[in-house]
Amino acid sequence: MNHGRKTTGGKYHSNRKRKWYEHQSQENETSLGETKSKIVRKRGNHKKAILLKSNKANLVIGKKTEQVEIKNVLQTPQNIFLARQNRLIKGAIIQTSKGKARITNRPSREGVINAILTE
């Protein structure tokens, strides 16, 4: 079974190229480091802030919100290797200056890191 070939051996040719909006965007995961972000143009001339690196998080303690420094990534639910690479993703347990916290949003999509204190 040859992929891209007909049973007779002829090739399949695509009718057209992909449109701009059909292209996949580049995968980006936020890592631990000095804060660095990028603004990306989306469809309809909308802009989206993408977080590439960060070392600060908005931590919710009770009813108050505080900006704290992230020291380390302890564990990630998706893949243990992402914690070793200090990747900041949703559900990751991070060590902050106030204690352990869990990331509650998707930093690479929203441009900020929100977390809840777990201890």
26-117, CATH topology level: 3.10.290
Residue 114 sits at φ, ψ, to 5 deg, of -110, 140
42-72, pLDDT tens digit by residue? 888 899 888 999 999 999 988 999 999 999 9
Average model confidence (pLDDT) across the chain: 90
Dihedral of CA atoms 97, 100, 105, 108 in degrees, nearest 10, equals 60
Question: Is pTM beyond 0.85 here?
Answer: no
Domain ranges of the chain: 26-117
CA proximity to 84, closest of 26, 29, 25, 28: 29
113, 89 Cβ separation under 8 angstroms: no
